[in-house]
Amino acid sequence: MADARKRLDAMATRPIVGAPLKHDSAEKHVAGEALYIDDIAEPAGLAHACLGLSTIAHGKLLALDLSAVEAAPGVIAVLTAADIPGENDISSTHKHDEPVFATSDILHHGQPHFAVVAETREQARHAALLAKASYEEAPALLDVAAARAAGSDLVTEPLKLERGDVGAALAASPRRLKGSMAIGGQDHFYLESQISLAIPGEDQDMLVLCSTQHPSEVQHMVANVLGVGAHAVTIEVRRMGGGFGGKETQANLFACVAALAARKLKRPVKLRPDRDDDMVITGKRHDFVVDYEIGFDDEGRIHAVDAVYAARCGWNADLSGPVTDRALFHMDNCYFYPAVRARSEPLRTHTVSNTAFRGFGGPQGMVGAERFIEEVAYATGLDPLEVRKRNLYGGEGREITPYHQPVEDMIAAEVIDELEHVCDYRARQEAIRAFNRQSPVIKRGIALTPVKFGISFTATWYNQAGALVHVYTDGTVALNHGGTEMGQGLYQKVAQVVAQAFGIGLEQIKITATTTGKVPNTSATAASSGSDLNGMAALDACETIKARLVAFAATHWQEKPEAIAFLPGRVQVGAREIGFVELVKAAYMARVQLSATGFYATPKIHWDRKAGRGHPFYYFAYGAAAAEVAIDTLTGEYKVERVDILHDCGNSLNPAIDKGQIEGGFIQGMGWLTTEELVWDEKGRLRTHAPSTYKIPVASDRPRIFNVALLEKAPNREHTIHRSKAVGEPPLMLAISVLHALSDAVASVGDHRFCPQLDAPATPERVLDAVDRVRALAEAAR
Amino acid sequence: MRESVRFLLGDELVEITSCDPTRTVLDWLRLDRRRTGTKEGCAEGDCGACTIVVGRLDGGQLRYEAINACIRFLPTLDGCHVLTVEHLKAPDGTLHPVQQAMVDCHGSQCGFCTPGFVMSLFALWLNERAPSVQRIEDALAGNLCRCTGYEPIIAAAQRMYGAERERDRFVAGMPAIIAQLKALVDSETISIGDGACQFYAPATVGALAELVDTHPQATLVAGATDVSLWVTKGMRRLDPVIYLGRIDELRAISDEGSHLRLSAMANQIAVREALAGISPQLDEMMRRFGGEQVRNAGTIGGNIANGSPIGDLPPALIALGATLVLRKGGERRELPLEAFFLDYRKQDRQPGEFVEAVLVPKLPADALFHISKISKRFDEDISAVCGAFYLTLDQAGRISEARLAYGGMAGIPKRAKAAEAVLLGRSWDDAAVAAAITVLAGDFTPLTDMRASAGYRLKVAGSLLRRFLIETTAPETGTRVAGLLAEAAHG
């Protein structure tokens, strides 16, 4: 009894929401007991599928001889487009431009044109290589420059954002400059590759266990391909081994092929591509070329920006529309442009279809914005951080974004000032300049860059979520919602919300796998929105149940409803305190419903894409990072030595999980801007299709000094779940500080008089090229 | 002949009598034994999600090593003690200190890489008491995590040493495991297959020589860090396979006075230790050789015999003037290492011949030696360019001997003969380097590929000579980005 009391007291003093609790699966992760789809006990009769891929990037498929594939050991069936009972299309934006299997047109190297099903995965992989395809090859447009030169079409309608008269403002600007920046793509490199396990049922039912961020979309795609109603298809996912946007639409193919094979064979079928195939087949972050013209003055104030954002979008539209839109939504970062015009150019190329990736275009837009700042700084001779500050939103008439939404919650200036002070920025900058003067080979650099990231899906209808909460008569709770768990800790955060709502312990809550059978019509777990949306929906379900319990208790114990409260570990009913279990048992006996759905739709937001106007974001998340690097001017090698971060999570639901998102997002962003380089050869073959050639950061790449702090006492001004802020994507863009620290180090070889114009990813080769370029400029100016 | 493979899986004695020679340990664990804690992330030994810990007898002692299960062939486990992530929890469900530290430090997010990290940390925990941060980073260089950014995992690696070690059941159980493994040792050649392909594992060099002579078409397997990819990625079937890992004498390293004799199966960890005495720069390069799992599995003989144009050891050994010992039956022949590499993936190895040892001359006190490895990512990456240089100066300070060996600049590891010729007779100074750089373009026509452009390779090949000059003539000048922070902290 005393123990129980103590526990209750502890709970009372330490609220569950806001506590730095461990990930709900942490103990299973470290023991190898967390089940991913390939770990689940295999159903009897399981067969394995493997995709057959095109060996050219562009052309016509003239003939496909699959006889050797069919004859290979262990092969049960070979599937082509002819085997599809429904529609041969998995276009997520319903443009009908993404066949499951290519039939005639081959549009990228590695495009699937058939699947083989065999008794073992190894047999299927061997058999798939035996296909004999003949092609009529056509020239392949592989990048932005080639697509532009050939007048390639756009995969989707471009977007234009415009405010003020840019032409006039540029003409009136005291100074102007033009430039161009290339920004590379990125492979998601989720550690668990794509996987689906399809299990056929009676009638035309199909259950697919799928590693996806978007079960509802997979459900619709499978139904569409099989030619059945959505009600016949159930998609389930307990956890993914990483997603990062790469499993938002890219899981569709694998789920559909597995389901197609399962339907045809009436056997369960698993499809897990080899890592190399996964990287060759699936979409990646968009590469961009940003062409810009900036008008500014000698004080470093920007007067006007006119920029075009051309993106390699790959062979189909996929999410390239919303991704390139979001690049434009972030072409301002934290800066006010008095006159602005931004246009997107989503170009079709003969490469994998670029897709969602953490930040969803926002990072590329923001990298462009920081380049504008840097150009102005070097042109005026001002310190880049000073130029950043002078151009921040804020002040009379300086709060309207290029999309005409006012920035109402601007705190970037405070965040920058605090970080600058805490990390001793100015003194270190001085020390670095002094170091560089006496170090001929190694040069160091430092930069501080801010982040402002808009939170909400710009597809407004996506900003909804559902939840399902069951309270059992022993007081335990089963929690389900539309959000998926990919490591970001969403399940844990929502469970914390539910535990606090009922005043119960987390051990009383069972977090159940996301399934379209429990919560329908869900949105992708994307756009950082997972806990904002699903936390609110789950809370709504809890409030429904609590309202019923309160009404019941008021009657049962003859108290006013106001006298009933759910406290940590107990329920107050007037003067008495009873256990939660006692209450639900009594309620059950009185035939009170102890299960409820919950729903949430984000308020305030609207967006008119044609007009380029609206209020697409509910709020903004902020942060800033200061990075310090050393470069070797002989080889271009570098090291990120120290990073300080101050990030805004509002009132964090779980500061430990949020810190993990900040650190992990930062390192992932750093990888994108430094060593992660996607290389296609002249035939359109991806040469970096495995970790041996595609280099994501390893442990020693993280800065040895890595100070990460959450902004304190900064509740979200909007009424989000417990006043928290979304944290999945914004920290990725803190890594732009690394690109600019490298640039600062490069600039030192020209005495900081020339803008290094360092493109991304800043591989050692690009750093060395920039060093040579700046040296040549300095030499010429002598 | 023994027609079975025997090893310990935890405390279970496993005996296998039929097996595809190239069945991977990972597939066996996951598919045959349904032990799914060990994950497949890449199937090529680059991500570490499949890391397990394998103990083997080494001079009567038990040596535990983290290895990649995805590129280890099952029958090569003969005589080993195999531990997977499922073994770590105590029978009462208590997490091992390594696991608990990972939980306490929030070291997992999606959790897919986590079992691999846990096993790499477990190997470190078993072998070392108080590793530095640098050492922890090295031990984890072969493990990729895409979620955490590594900081909490490094923290866990420091926190895991809190618990009392001697009472740990793995430490306490070592004598019993040693006894069990010793009971499995014999000098029989193993012969096992699946009816289609055959696997041999001799226990003596003599038996090996005989086998290779009998099966000149056989694929010789050492650490399998490259050969395994012919299987997992190239979808090749290998028959027969001759595995060299059971032969203790082939792991020997001996000091022969003027030179070191490194036997073919010495792994990269042992090679690093041996070469550290020759040059601290060699030690630094070997520290960055692959990831820890690859350093544990990979061997000097494999690195050479494989003939990769970018294997990092050959340029170093060529610059040092190493000699290769090849053996066929009872016959041996020696040749300068550089002469072994004929053309892209083509070596001077006759049918029935195998690499037995490498003889590495010790560095004369007055010789200048330098090695640099330049890669896109600092750790666990393949070189864009690797340069290894050896110079001697005469009494007058003129260059009397020069060996400039490069990897990544041609289809084979190759010397820059024109640049060497230019250096001879000159003083070791700026003018000499500038002259050498101008002729490098004649020595090499490097490729542009995913690692670097031809232009970058050529530029860096020259830069490395400049770095060599600065480091030997103005050593106070900082020339390396790694380690700079430590300097700064002290300065």
Q: What is the pLDDT of residues A123-153, one digit of tens each?
A: 999 999 999 999 999 999 999 999 999 999 9
pLDDT confidence bin for B488, thresholds 50/70/90: very low
Q: A-chain residues within 8 Å CB-CB of B450?
A: 677, 679, 687-688, 693
Among the partner-chain residues B95, B112, B451, the one whose CB lies closest to the CB of A36 is: B112
pLDDT tens for each residue of A233-263: 999 999 999 999 999 999 999 999 999 999 9
Our measurement of the distance from residue A187's CA atom to the centroid of its chain's CA atoms, rounded to an integer in Å, reads: 12
Asked if A702's CB is within 8 angstroms of B481's CB, the reply is no
pLDDT of residue B279: 84
Q: How many A/B residue pairs have CB atoms within 8 Å? A: 268
Instruction: Work out the minimum CA distance from B28 to partner chain A, whole angstroms.
Output: 13
Q: If you measure CA to CA, which chain A residue comes closest to B90? A: A31
Query: What span, in angstroms and rounded, lies between the C-alpha atoms of A177 and A565?
Result: 63
Q: Do B258 and B134 share a structural domain?
A: no
Query: What span, in angstroms and rounded, lies between the C-alpha atoms of A2 and A308?
Result: 68
Assigned domain for B191 exists: no
Overall domain count for chain B: 2
Helix, strand, or coil (residue B227):
helix
Q: If you measure CA to CA, which chain A residue comes closest to B40? A: A192
Q: Do B261 and B171 share a structural domain?
A: no
Q: Do B294 and B154 share a structural domain?
A: no
Burial A69-98 (b: 16+ CB within 10 A, else e): beebebbbbbbbeebbebbbbbbbbeeebb
pLDDT tens for each residue of B391-442: 999 999 999 999 999 999 999 999 999 999 999 999 999 999 999 999 999 9
Asked if B372's CB is within 8 angstroms of A635's CB, the reply is yes
Q: Do B301 and B178 share a structural domain?
A: no
Name the β-bridge partners of A630: A444, A639
Query: What span, in angstroms and rounded, lies between the C-alpha atoms of A456 and A617?
Result: 5
Per-residue pLDDT, averaged over B256-266, amounts to: 96
Chain B interface, best mutation among A22, A631, A634, A696, by max B CB count within 10 A: A634
Whether residue B110 is predicted with pLDDT greater than 60 in this model: the reply is yes
Asked if A690's CB is within 8 angstroms of B110's CB, the reply is no
Per-residue pLDDT, averaged over A494-506, amounts to: 97
Query: What span, in angstroms and rounded, lies between the C-alpha atoms of A364 and A385?
Result: 20
Q: Do B279 and B136 share a structural domain?
A: no
Domain end among B185, B213, B244: B185
Q: If you measure CA to CA, which chain A residue comes closest to B27? A: A122
- Measure the CA dihedral A159/A161/A166/A170, to 10°: -80
Name the β-bridge partners of A724: A650
H or E element in which residue A543 lies = helix A530-556
Q: A-chain residues within 8 Å CB-CB of B196?
A: none
Asked if A635's CB is within 8 angstroms of B460's CB, the reply is yes
Q: B-chain residues within 8 Å CB-CB of A675?
A: 376-377
**HSE (side-chain half, CA atoms, 13 Å) at B327:** 18
H or E element in which residue A514 lies = strand A514-515
Among the partner-chain residues A441, A486, A693, the one whose CB lies closest to the CB of B479 is: A441
Query: What span, in angstroms and rounded, lies between the C-alpha atoms of A614 and A605?
Result: 8
Q: If you measure CA to CA, which chain B residue comes closest to A486? A: B110
- Number of C-beta neighbours around residue A172 at 10 A: 12
pLDDT of residue B489: 39
Query: What span, in angstroms and rounded, lies between the C-alpha atoms of B345 and B305?
Result: 9
Asked if B140's CB is within 8 angstroms of A641's CB, the reply is no
Asked if A763's CB is within 8 angstroms of B111's CB, the reply is no
pLDDT of residue B308: 84
Our answer to whether residue A729 is catalytic in this structure is: yes
Sheet bearing A509-511, strands edge to edge: A509-511, A477-481, A464-471, A595-601
Q: What is the mean pLDDT of chain A?
A: 97
Whether residue B309 is predicted with pLDDT greater than 90 in this model: the reply is no
Among the partner-chain residues B38, B115, B150, the one whose CB lies closest to the CB of A699 is: B150
Measuring CA to CA, how many Å separate A381 from each of A65, A346, A374, A704, B3? 65, 35, 10, 32, 77
Do A195 and A38 meet the contact criterion of CB atoms below 8 Å apart?
yes
Whether residue B485 is predicted with pLDDT greater than 70 in this model: the reply is no
pLDDT confidence bin for B490, thresholds 50/70/90: very low
- Least confident window among A50-59, A441-450, B75-84, B281-290: B281-290
Asked if A705's CB is within 8 angstroms of B485's CB, the reply is yes
Q: What is the pTM of this model?
A: 0.97
Asked if B88's CB is within 8 angstroms of A191's CB, the reply is no
Q: Do B165 and B21 share a structural domain?
A: yes
Q: Do B411 and B282 share a structural domain?
A: yes
Q: Do B151 and B260 share a structural domain?
A: no
Q: A-chain residues within 8 Å CB-CB of B150?
A: 667, 697-699, 702
**HSE (side-chain half, CA atoms, 13 Å) at A213:** 26
Burial A748-762 (b: 16+ CB within 10 A, else e): bbbebebbbbbbbbb
Helix, strand, or coil (residue A494):
helix
Q: B-chain residues within 8 Å CB-CB of A442?
A: 478-481, 484
Instruction: Work out the minimum CA distance from A293 to partner chain B, whole angstroms.
Output: 31
Among the partner-chain residues A243, A664, A688, the one whose CB lies closest to the CB of B149 is: A664
Assigned domain for B285 exists: yes
Asked if A704's CB is within 8 angstroms of B479's CB, the reply is no
Domain end among B133, B160, B185: B185
Asked if A38's CB is within 8 angstroms of B377's CB, the reply is no
Q: B-chain residues within 8 Å CB-CB of A32?
A: 36-38, 84-86, 115, 118
* Nearest alpha carbon to residue B150 among B376, B380, B479: B380
pLDDT of residue A6: 53
A499: its two tokens: 């535990």
Whether residue A1 is predicted with pLDDT greater than 60 in this model: the reply is no
Q: A-chain residues within 8 Å CB-CB of B85?
A: 30-32
Strand ranges inside A184-268, DSSP E: 196-200, 206-210, 233-237
Whether residue A764 is predicted with pLDDT greater than 50 in this model: the reply is yes
Asked if A488's CB is within 8 angstroms of B109's CB, the reply is yes
Assigned domain for B263 exists: yes
* Nearest alpha carbon to residue A344 among A160, A220, A499, A170: A160
Assigned domain for B231 exists: no
Among the partner-chain residues B85, B86, B147, the one whose CB lies closest to the CB of A242 is: B147
Chain A interface, best mutation among B39, B47, B112, B233, by max A CB count within 10 A: B112
Domain membership of residue B130 as a residue range: 7-185
Query: What span, in angstroms and rounded, lies between the C-alpha atoms of A163 and A405?
Result: 11
Assigned domain for B213 exists: no
Cα of first residue to Cα of last residue in chain B, in angstroms, is 64
Angle at A522 between CA A516 and CA A525, to 5 degrees: 105
Q: B-chain residues within 8 Å CB-CB of A241?
A: 39, 110-113
Q: A-chain residues within 8 Å CB-CB of B102?
A: 26, 29-30
Radius of gyration of chain A (CA): 27
Q: Do B445 and B325 share a structural domain?
A: yes
Q: If you measure CA to CA, which chain B residue comes closest to A193? A: B41
Chain A interface, best mutation among B135, B292, B377, by max A CB count within 10 A: B377
Angle at A34 between CA A32 and CA A35, to 5 degrees: 110
Asked if A31's CB is within 8 angstroms of B99's CB, the reply is yes
The interaxial angle of helices A736-747 and A764-781, nearest 10 deg, is: 40
Instruction: Work out the minimum CA distance from B490 to partner chain A, whole angstroms.
Output: 14
Assigned domain for B219 exists: no
pLDDT confidence bin for A3, thresholds 50/70/90: low
Asked if B467's CB is within 8 angstroms of A699's CB, the reply is no
Assigned domain for B402 exists: yes
Whether residue B207 is predicted with pLDDT greater than 60 in this model: the reply is yes
pLDDT of residue B311: 78
Q: Which of A70, A293, A729, A779 is the catalytic position?
A: A729
Radius of gyration of chain B (CA): 23
Q: Return the higher-pLDDT residue of A782 and B2.
A: B2
For A143, residues 6+ apart whose C-beta sits below 8 A from its C-beta are A287, A312, A349, A351, A680
Among the partner-chain residues A31, A663, A701, the one whose CB lies closest to the CB of B89 is: A31
Per-residue pLDDT, averaged over B60-81, amounts to: 97
Among the partner-chain residues A125, A675, A679, the one whose CB lies closest to the CB of B450 is: A679
- The CATH number of residue B333's host domain is 3.30.390.50
pLDDT of residue B437: 98
Instruction: Work out the minimum CA distance from A730 to partner chain B, whole angstroms.
Output: 14
Beta-sheet pairing, B51-58 with B12-16:
unpaired
Q: Do B172 and B278 share a structural domain?
A: no
Asked if A657's CB is within 8 angstroms of B235's CB, the reply is no
Q: Do B257 and B178 share a structural domain?
A: no
Assigned domain for B431 exists: yes
pLDDT of residue B486: 44
Q: A-chain residues within 8 Å CB-CB of B386?
A: none
Asked if B470's CB is within 8 angstroms of A692's CB, the reply is no
Asked if B148's CB is within 8 angstroms of A635's CB, the reply is no
Q: Do B272 and B154 share a structural domain?
A: no
Query: What span, in angstroms and rounded, lies between the C-alpha atoms of A584 and A594?
Result: 8
- The CATH number of residue B178's host domain is 3.10.20.30
Whether residue B35 is predicted with pLDDT greater than 50 in this model: the reply is yes
Domain end among B139, B159, B185: B185
pLDDT tens for each residue of A345-400: 999 999 999 999 999 999 999 999 999 999 999 999 999 999 999 999 998 899 99
Per-residue pLDDT, averaged over A449-473, amounts to: 97
Q: A-chain residues within 8 Å CB-CB of B464?
A: 634-635
Per-residue pLDDT, averaged over B227-251, amounts to: 96
* Nearest alpha carbon to residue B14 among B75, B104, B101: B75
Query: What span, in angstroms and rounded, lies between the C-alpha atoms of A509 and A512?
Result: 9
pLDDT tens for each residue of A94-131: 999 999 999 999 999 999 999 999 999 999 999 999 99
